[in-house]
Amino acid sequence: MAVPQVVAVHPNSPAAEAGVLVGDALQTINGEQPRDVIRYQLLVDEPDVALEIDRGGLARTVAVSKRAGEPLGVEVNSAVFDQVRTCDNHCSFCFIYQLPPGMRRSLYLKDDDYRLSFLYGNFTTLTRFTEADLERVVTEGLSPLYVSIHATNREKRSAMLRNRRGATSLRWLRALLDHDVAVHGQIVVCPGVNDGETLGETLLDVLDHYPELHSVAVVPLGVSDHSDEPDMRPHTKAEAAAVLELVEAWQETFQIALGRRLVHAADEYYLLAGRSFPEVDQYDGFDMHEDGIGMARTFEREFTGNASEAVTPAAGFFSWVDGAPAEGYRAERVAPPGPDGGARGMGCGSGVSSPTGAGTESVQLVELRSKRRLPGKDRPIGVITASYGADVLGPLLMNLDRDDVRLVVVENLFFGGNIGVTGLLVGEDVARHLVNEPEGHRYLLPDVCLSGGRFLDGLSVDDLPRPVEVIATDGISLRAALDRRTTVAA
């Protein structure tokens, strides 16, 4: 089994003061070899931590003294040290199969690992879940977990996952709920496959068999130009409206039966159908914010000053494949110099959805005109977003009554298809657009586009033709960036 490798040591941290160095291999922690960052975090939470280290082939022991629960200050190379549990499903709608060639190898890894579900919110189908996994989840309190449901009909679910275990694996969902594990469910709706009557049957079964679910997200299928599945296609406007009507009807049923709406449609459905988003009080607390449920309303509240603090999403798309944060699953996201939101980590069987949606509009530059002109020395600002992001951000920026702010809407040619999610913008597309933008302006890039400082195509912000300011993907951060005056010389 592999052991955690130290990739960073925080200055002035307990680990730094004890002499831990980048490159050290942590053979054991307090005599135990951890198999993942979950166990690692529990071990390093102790006040006295004994590290058996391999440093360039030489073994040594490092004793670290600190307060109980104080971060060790070490960043390790992976969330899972033994082996990621890969997915044995072959879903036609899986986005991993729709990736273009030539990306870094780690992005093509399909996981179905409950540990990554707990750590990063990846969705698991439970087809590889075991009794031992259930015991660990319960005894170590690994909650919440995120489960891909898609359909409750046994034959339909098995066919969608292309795995005969798909017909029976939801028994583990029942077992998790029986042990009071918090579970969030997801239904990726594929037009003509699990919508209509099948979706209605699934929601009926949720009420009958899984009413303890904390929430159920209904998200639309994302289809890139690299999909080779002829039956997978985007929703039409009418199909999106039909999904909303069904979800809203079931919300009323759940409200009566359970006292909460339970099921929610992704923001993208409202954009696709051309309908207004529900009011804030209809989201039951935004449990599935990162799955595109209520993101637009949350962002609006933050941007307009009606939220006391920002909802901080997990790291950018696919971030889980490139390492664990120094404090493990408790780490707070901190925007890097100048830096998420967007879709969750994929996991097996996940769709693509976010408040910035998956649109098909051609590339455009949306100029936001107003009555008031700011002093001439203030640098104009371009807010970089994806196609549907313009529908969410445009009205908010227009209400500022400023003519120095505009949207820079980037079309996703890298993935193509109906992919317009901001979290899937790549450096190549952003660079292609920025090269035609004026020099000397401020360009704001949401950190949802980055994972470990890189776009999905491997480029970094330093590779862009214009300097950009990377900001956290929330309304408070954007408003603060817009209000910050940066001027040029007179």
- Upper half-sphere CA count for residue 27 (Cβ side, 13 Å): 12
Query: For position 347, what pLDDT does the model report?
Result: 46
Beta-sheet pairing, 183-189 with 145-148: parallel
List 384's β-bridge partners, or say none: 408
| Per-residue pLDDT at 332 | 44
Q: What angle do CA 199, 201, 202 make, to 5 degrees?
A: 65
β partners of residue 385: 409
pLDDT of 80 reads 87
Cβ neighbours of residue 9 under 8 Å, at least 6 residues apart?
15, 16, 20, 21, 22, 73, 74, 75
- Residue positions counted in the chain: 490
In degrees and rounded to multiples of 5, residue 257 shows phi and psi of: -80, -35
The candidate with the shortest Cα–Cα distance to 175, out of 140, 142, 130, is 130
The topology (CATH level 3) of 95-330 is: TIM Barrel (3.20.20)
Give DSSP secondary structure letters for 324-391: --TTGGGPPP---S----SSPP-BTT-----TT----PPPEEEE---S----TTBPPEEEEE-TTHHH
> Is it true that the peptide bond before 355 is cis, omega within 30 degrees of 0?
no
Residue ranges of alpha helices (H) inside 142-266 are: 154-161, 171-178, 196-209, 237-258
Going from N- to C-terminal start, the domains of the chain cover 6-76, 95-330, 364-483
For tokens 């956290």, the residue is 472
Predicted pLDDT at 217: 96
Distance CA 433, CA 420 (A): 15
Give me the pLDDT at residue 354, please. 44
Output the pLDDT for position 435. Answer: 96
Please give the torsion angle defined by the CA atoms of residues 185, 188, 189 and 195, in that order, rounded to the nearest 10 degrees: -40
Query: Architecture of domain 6-76 in CATH?
Result: Roll (2.30)
Report which secondary-structure segment, H or E, holds 251.
helix 237-258
Per-residue pLDDT of the chain (490 residues), as tens digits, is 689 999 999 999 999 999 999 999 999 999 999 999 899 989 999 999 999 999 999 999 999 999 998 999 998 888 888 888 889 999 999 988 999 988 878 788 888 999 989 988 889 999 999 999 999 999 999 999 999 999 999 999 999 999 999 999 999 999 999 999 999 999 999 999 999 999 999 999 999 999 999 999 999 999 999 999 999 999 999 999 999 999 999 999 999 999 999 999 999 999 999 999 999 889 888 777 777 888 899 999 999 988 878 776 554 455 555 544 434 444 443 333 332 233 333 444 444 444 333 332 222 333 333 333 333 447 999 999 998 788 899 999 999 989 999 999 999 999 999 988 888 999 999 999 999 999 999 999 999 898 878 899 999 999 999 999 999 999 999 999 999 875 544 4
The predicted structure's pLDDT at residue 102:
84
Res 382: pLDDT: 97
Structure tokens at 92: 């036609």
Q: Which of 88, 3, 89 is nearest to 40 (CA)?
A: 3
